[in-house]
Structure 1
Amino acid sequence: MNKKLYLPLLLAVLVAFVGCKKMGGLKAEYFTVTPNPLEVVGGEVPATITGQFPEKYFNKKATVVVTPYLVYEGGETAGTPYTYQGEKVVGNDQTISYKLGGNITMKTSFKYIPAMRKSDLYLAFKVSQGKKSYDLPRVKVAEGVLSTAEICDPNSLTPALAADKFQRIIKENYQADILFLIQQANLRSEELKKAEVQDFQSNLKDAAAAPNKKITNVNISSYASPDGGVKLNTTLAENRENATVKYMKGQMKNNNVEADMTAEFTAQDWEGFQELVSKSNIQDKDLILRVLSMYKDPEQREQEIKNMSSTFQILAEEILPKLRYSRISAAIDVIGKSDEEISKLAASDPKSLTVDELLYAATLTKNPSEKAAIYKKATEIYPNDYRGFNNLGMVNFEQGDLNGAENNFKKAAKVNPNSPEVQMNLGLIDLTKDELNSAEQAFGKSAGVNELNDALGVLYMQKGDYTKAVRAFGDSKTNNAALAQILTKDYNKAKNTLSAVSEPNATTYYLMAVVGARTNNQKAVTDNLKKAVSLDSNMAQQAATDLEFAKYDISSIK
């Protein structure tokens, strides 16, 4: 063969051979994963994979699809695939140089399931060269998923109680005014016979006779108008007080009323004068009020006002007569049923109780079944009061009956859709369903509810915003609050929070063990895991596959 023809032919064959040659497998050392191990954030397992194709590796005519896979017992989940192309491929994907290689970055996320706790992250490579395609060996790039965030438990939240308005002692107050003529202290019959005074005496008599009422005080306050001298008015106000006290003692004796009586008098009622003037339609009232503020001496005040002759005439006719009086008042306690009476009636005759008494009865028992029975009666007897439905749903929620809770919360919402307690509780149901947007909307309508901050804390944790969750929890002493502190690496605060949990459970001690693991305290790990497992045997299996304890010997914990 002609040598001039041989050399080009050899080169063509060599190029064709190189072009068809399969790409080899890649090493794990070419790739880095952040974080490693992977970690659950907001119900997802995010990962950022950085890597490189080495020099003289990437075929110029090849296309490579790289797909992350999280592989666990019983299955695998694919992440976001990324496509890379050689220098001679026409396309819009990232081009990798054959001679120099190239760096790549892939961001992916997997919807978390518990099986992923014990898993491996692999990269799969599918190569296409012309009409041929083949798979390269998968490369393991990370191991395990840290699932501590999943300990967050919306089911442990406390629903909002729609409180009763029961008051054992209700305060009642009655009063009546007896007017006097100018510079007189005698009680006139027309004043004593007027309806205001007669009704007062009747109410006082009824209260004395009622078994559930107690008169705590009868008071007499007597006044003189500020248009006389201080000496004259002092005598006048004191005489009015004496006359009224004598009258009331006689009335109380006749009506069999026994009660403490107090009395006082005011010689010149400037405060009352100022109040009446400010509320009047007197043309010069602003001027009068300025005079009152300018002069502190009572006699000077009186003289300056009298100097306004035309105005003083109006005051004498419209204002001053109303300041010559004795006011009699009575404070009465209306005493309601005792706790024992309410509890008995709730069981035997609930219809005899008001709705507030019935709702209060449920707070007198710690038995969930008894509470539920009382609230159910409230819904039957008072179906137009949302509180019975709401509180029955609250008991359902606390007992783990989420369907029953949701049904009752919805019934409460039909009666009172604007109740912040009901909206808060509907938001809790949404949290348990992982419906975070609707939960957030419901919580936005729950301002003022005491339990809202803890619910918001859980919402933010489920969204993966742990810093915001910590702020929402504030000083709450709950497992969820401590978990948020662990996830923001405030281990000392988390430990203090867990130590203050009022009723510690298996989760409390498990989180204590996590704090121990993250602060390199072997004893805290083993001691707290033993306590957790003693309360819930399932915790042993959870701990065995938990990466939090990977470097600790917990084989003795069963």
Structure 2
Amino acid sequence: MPFALNRLTGSFLIFLLLSITFSTGCTFTRMVKKAEKEQKLTVTPEVLMVRGNQVPFEIEAQLPQNLLKKNYNYNIRVFYKAAQGVEQHVGSLPFEFGNYNFVGGKPTIKTSFSFPYTPSKIQGQLMAQGVVTNPKGRKKFTKATLLAPGIRTTPHMIQVVHAPSYVADQAKAQVPDYLKFTIYFDEGLATLRKGLGTNFQQLDEFILSNQKTKRIDILATQSPNTDEYKTRNLAMRRAVALEQYIKKKIDTETYANTLSSIKFEKKVITNSWSAFLGRIQNSALPEEQIQQILDIVNGPGSFSEKENQLQELPSYEYIDMYVYPVLRYAEVTVDYVPTPRKDYEIYLLAKKIMQNRANADALSADDMQYAATLTPLLAEKKKIYESAVENYMSWQALNNLGIVYFEQAQKELNPKIKKNLLENAILNLQYAAHRNPTAQQFYNLAVAHHQNGNVLEAMHSYDYAIKQGGAIALLQNIFTDKAALELKLGQYDDAVRSISFAGSGYAAQFNKALLYFLKENYEGASELAVKLLQEFPEDASTHYLLAVIGARTQQESLMAEHLQKAVALQPTLAGKAIEDLEFVNYHKSQAFSSALKK
């Protein structure tokens, strides 16, 4: 009897175990099949688009009712599969307690994702795959689902000016009888600083060059904002600090000049809006904003009252960032005796110095710089500039050597060599900008950083170039390239502000149209692009952008018309259009095919 009972009990346990296993297996399989059949995945946008160096998107995942079972986990993994089959994990949507809401009685999750963009990913696929995990930790996977095909790259159509320049050639007959050095100060202070944005290096180099000096004038001023003009004797304290520095330098480190042989004079400008108005009228602000400022400054009221009124203007952020900082300065004017030489003497001596057959002091830094302009050979210019930098470290030679490297980089196809040339350009341009902090010098540096992908350094240099002030055409170029960088980074709101100061040049207007497009103002983008074509009718990029706008707005005739013109002007755009997902809905249309024919 016990034996029969044991057999009965054993059979029951086996049956129970098989039942549990079968039930578990059925639950596992049913969850996978139900998820594959009934889960709903929605991605926004339907076709991915790059923003900056990332590809952002949003997924909403909704599961069927009663899919989730106790002790079973359900997770959706999101990955991007590039054209070469390489998979990159992007993120996951875990349906865990507290991590989802019920919408219409169904578990729902909405999450934002992004992944780094590289050109190799353009033709890939955004995929999703469900993962069911049972109580024992075993996993089963649903079939992978296509969420979005590839990446749109229209935001990368950005146009730039990128026009760094050499220091202008200076013939000996035009060598000035005096030099100017502008020394900047921090807000409310008369303390000398030798960091970024000062001319101390250049001033020191001149003093140590021992050129005969007759007179040194120091004109010190202050910005008209409240903290500056209320600081007692601020401008005079700046002038005195600078005079003491120069006298000590001459007295202890030079031999050609003495303090008794040089006449010093100090002047200050206080409680004056003149320099401020000069900067404003030579700024990139729109005419109506300039007029608002002029009305306040030229109107009634005290300094503080006018400053308070300025703070209420929409242009005050520009004033505070780009105008006030460069009004806190002292200007040193040096009257000296230049020593010009004949061109052939300068050129021959420069070659001897370059070949180590003459001492570096046989020529001044200015003469060595001038010597490089006497040869048409780029390789020889580079050697002369290198020699000038090695022997004199003048900002002119540093700048021009940097521009030589930059120009070589533009012609280089090998990415590693190009990067190395740009890094050499940056090194020299950085030294030049810190020795001669002007808008052009910092713009040169910004462009080199921009092309080398040094985003923060480029943005910093663009900002500093704007603060220096300068010709309106130069400032507009700077704002145009700054806006282009902000567009590239996906900082569209910042780009809007910069473009408002960028003028009406080609790159500025194209980028403005592109910005309207990226903000989905297709009508405004189209109007700007059509206006741009009136001035530049042969511009393939603008025709291509209009073709994309036509595709986005489902205007097939607009798409076909401008795509045909773009391809006719630049045949390589045919290949781009075939791969461009902006035209994915038209790839089989007759209009699209006809537009690609030459």
Q: TM-score, normalised on structure 1?
A: 0.55
The Cα offsets for residues 3-30 of structure 1, whole Å up to 9 and x where unpaired, read as: xx9xxx99x9697676555412435982
On the 8 A contact 2:382/2:404 being kept in 1, the answer is no
Match status 1:77 vs 2:82:
no
Aligned to 2:156, the other structure's residue is in SS state helix
Instruction: Say whether the 8 Å CA contact 1:467–1:488 is kept in structure 2.
Output: no
- Judging changes above 3 Å, is the alpha-carbon distance between structure 1 residues 381 and 396 closer, same or farther for their aligned structure 2 residues? closer
Secondary structure in 2 matching 1:460: helix
Show the 5 A alignment for 1:464-479.
Answer: 464-473=490-499, 474-479=502-507
Q: 2:457 aligns with which of 434, 438, 442?
A: 438
Query: Are residue 107 (structure 1) and residue 112 (structure 2) matched?
Result: yes
Q: Is the 8 A contact 1:57 1:101 kept in 2?
A: no
Counterpart check, 1:50 vs 2:35 = no
C-alpha separation in 1, matches of 2:515 and 2:44: 17
User: Equivalent residues in 2 for 1:264-303 (5 A)?
Assistant: none
Correspondences of 1:400-411 after superposition (within 5 Å): 400=410, 401-411=418-428
Match of 1:524 in 2: 562
Which residue number in structure 2 is paired with residue 377 of structure 1? 384
Q: Deviation of residue 472 (structure 1)?
A: 1.8
How far residue 356 of structure 1 moved from its aligned partner, in angstroms, is 6.0
Change (3 A) 1:395 1:93: farther
**Contact 1:350/1:358 (CA < 8 Å) preserved in 2?**
yes
Contact between 1:430 and 1:436, CA under 8 Å: does it hold in 2?
Answer: yes
Deviations 1:342-380 (A, max 9, x none): 7x8887776899866876798899xxx746644652442
1:413 to 426, 430, 438: 430
Alignment partners' CA distance in 2, 1:64 and 1:350: 76
| Residues 543 and 562, structure 2, Cα contact 8 Å, conserved in 1 | no
SS at 2:479 equivalent:
helix
CA drift at 1:79: 1.0
**Whole-Å Cα distance in 2 between the matches of residues 418 and 455 of structure 1?**
23
In structure 1, the residue matched to 2:526 is 491
Confirm or deny: 8 A CA contact 2:162 2:481 kept in the other structure: yes
Q: Does 1:34 align with 2:44?
A: yes
Residue pair 1:62, 1:129 contacting (<8 A) in 2 also: yes
Looking at structure 2, the residues matched to 512 and 116 of structure 1 have their Cα atoms a distance apart, in angstroms, of 25
Measure, in 2, the Cα distance between the counterparts of 1:346 and 1:371. 18
Question: Does residue 1:159 correspond to 2:164, yes or no?
Answer: yes
* Aligned position for 2:215: none
Structure 2: distance between partners of 1:398 and 1:485: 29
Query: Shift of residue 73 of structure 1?
Result: 1.0
How many corresponding residue pairs?
371
| Distance (Å, rounded) in 2 between the aligned partners of 1:487 and 1:499 | 19
Q: Secondary structure at the match of 2:46?
A: coil
Q: Which amino acid aligns with 2:486?
A: Y
Contact persistence 2:78–2:89 (CA under 8 A): yes
Q: Secondary structure at the match of 2:464?
A: coil
Matched, 1:427 2:446: yes
- Do residues 547 (structure 1) and 581 (structure 2) align? yes
Amino acid at match of 1:380: S
**Structure 2 SS opposite 1:56:** coil
- SS of the residue corresponding to residue 429 of structure 1 reads helix
| Change beyond 3 A, Cα 1:376–1:452 | farther
| AA in 2 matched with 1:377 | I
Q: Residue 119 in 1 paired to residue 136 in 2?
A: no
Counterpart-to-counterpart distance in 2, 1:45 and 1:492: 28
Distance in 2 (alpha carbons) for counterparts of 1:498 and 1:353 = 52
Equivalent in the alignment of 1:149? 155
Give the Cα–Cα distance (whole angstroms) in 2 for the partners of residues 524 and 38 of structure 1. 24
Paired with 1:20 and 1:104, the residues of 2 have a C-alpha distance of 22
Q: Give the TM-score normalised by structure 2.
A: 0.52
Partner-residue secondary structure (3-state), 1:80: strand
Q: CA deviation at 1:387?
A: 1.9
Task: Please state how far the C-alpha of 1:41 moved relative to its aligned partner.
Answer: 0.4
Query: Structure 1 regions of 5+ residues with no counterpart?
Result: 86-91, 174-333
User: Structure 1 residues 355 and 418, CA, compared in 2 at 3 Å: closer, same or farther?
Assistant: closer
Q: Distance in 2 between matches of 1:408 and 1:434?
A: 13
Q: Which runs of 5+ in 2 are unaligned?
A: 1-7, 179-337, 352-361, 411-417, 518-524
Contact 1:513 / 1:524 at 8 angstroms: preserved in 2?
yes
Q: What's the CA shift for 1:68? A: 1.7
**What residue in structure 1 maps to residue 234 of structure 2?**
none
Letter in 2 for 1:84: F
Q: SS state of the match for residue 481, structure 2?
A: helix
- Deviation of 1:81 after TM superposition, in Å, equals 1.6
Given that 2:100 and 2:108 are in contact with CA atoms closer than 8 Å, whether structure 1 keeps it comes out as no
Deviation of 1:107 after TM superposition, in Å, equals: 1.1
Paired residues of 2:80 and 2:126 also in contact (CA < 8 A): yes
User: Any idea what SS the aligned residue of 1:58 has?
Assistant: coil
CA contact (8 A) 2:159 2:511 kept: no
Given that 1:45 and 1:111 are in contact with CA atoms closer than 8 Å, whether structure 2 keeps it comes out as yes
The separation in 2 between residues aligned to 1:159 and 1:345, in whole angstroms, is 30
**Aligned partner of 1:482 among 510, 518, 523:** 510
Rate the CA distance shift 1:172–1:362 in 2: closer, same or farther, 3 A.
closer
Contact conserved, 1:70 with 1:120, CA < 8 A, in 2? yes
Are residue 128 (structure 1) and residue 133 (structure 2) matched? yes
Which structure 2 residues correspond to residues 341-356 of structure 1 after superposition, within 5 A? none
- After superposition, the Cα gap between the structure-2 partners of 1:54 and 1:28, relative to the gap in structure 1 and judged at 3 Å, is closer
Q: Which digits, 9 at most, give the CA deviation of each residue in 1:455-490, with x for residues without a partner?
A: 311221122023422432422524475145223222
Q: Whole-Å Cα distance in 2 between the matches of residues 480 and 403 of structure 1?
A: 29
Is 2:125–2:146's contact at 8 Å kept on the other side of the alignment? yes
Shift of 1:169: 6.1
Could you give the per-residue CA deviations for residues 526-547 of structure 1, whole angstroms, max 9, x where no partner exists? 11122122xxx3x332221112
Deviation at 1:96, TM superposition (A): 7.2
Q: Which has the higher Rg, Structure 1 or Structure 2?
A: 1
The whole-number CA distance in structure 1 between the counterparts of 2:158 and 2:128 is: 30
Q: Structure 1 stretch 421-430 or stretch 389-398: which is displaced more? A: 421-430
Q: Give 1:424 shift.
A: 3.6
Identity in percent: 23
Report deviation, 1:517: 4.5
- Residue 193 of structure 2 aligns with which residue? none
* Alignment RMSD (CA, Å): 4.4
- For 2:83, the aligned partner's letter is E
Write the distance in 2 (CA, Å) between the matches of 1:438 and 1:381. 26
Indicate if the aligned counterparts of 1:479 and 1:508 stay in contact, CA closer than 8 A. no
Moved more, 64-73 or 355-364: 355-364
Match of 1:199 in 2: none
Is the 2:544–2:562 Cα contact (8 Å) retained in structure 1?
A: no
Whether the 8 Å CA contact 1:122–1:139 is kept in 2: the answer is: yes
Instruction: Report SS of the residue matched to 1:36.
Output: coil
Q: How far is 1:82 from its partner?
A: 2.3
Letter in 1 for 2:384: K
Task: Pick closer, same or farther for the CA change 1:357–1:134 going to 2, 3 Å.
Answer: same
Q: Is the 8 A contact 2:480 2:507 kept in 1?
A: no
Offset, 1:501: 5.8
Structure 2 vs 1, CA of residues 118 and 372 (structure 1 numbering), >3 Å: closer, same or farther? same
The 1-side partners of 2:433 and 2:494 are apart by 31
Instruction: Tell me the equivalent position of 2:400.
Output: 391
Q: Say if 1:68 and 1:390 are closer, same or farther in 2 by CA, change over 3 A.
A: same
Higher helix share: 2
Instruction: Give the secondary structure class of the aligned counterpart of 1:134.
Output: strand
What are the residue-to-residue correspondences of 1:248-267 with 2, within 5 Å?
none
8 Å CA contact retained: 1:359, 1:374:
no
Indicate how the Cα distance of structure 1 residues 20 and 548 shifts in structure 2: closer, same or farther if over 3 A, else same: closer
Q: How does 1:350-369 map to 2 (within 5 A)?
A: none
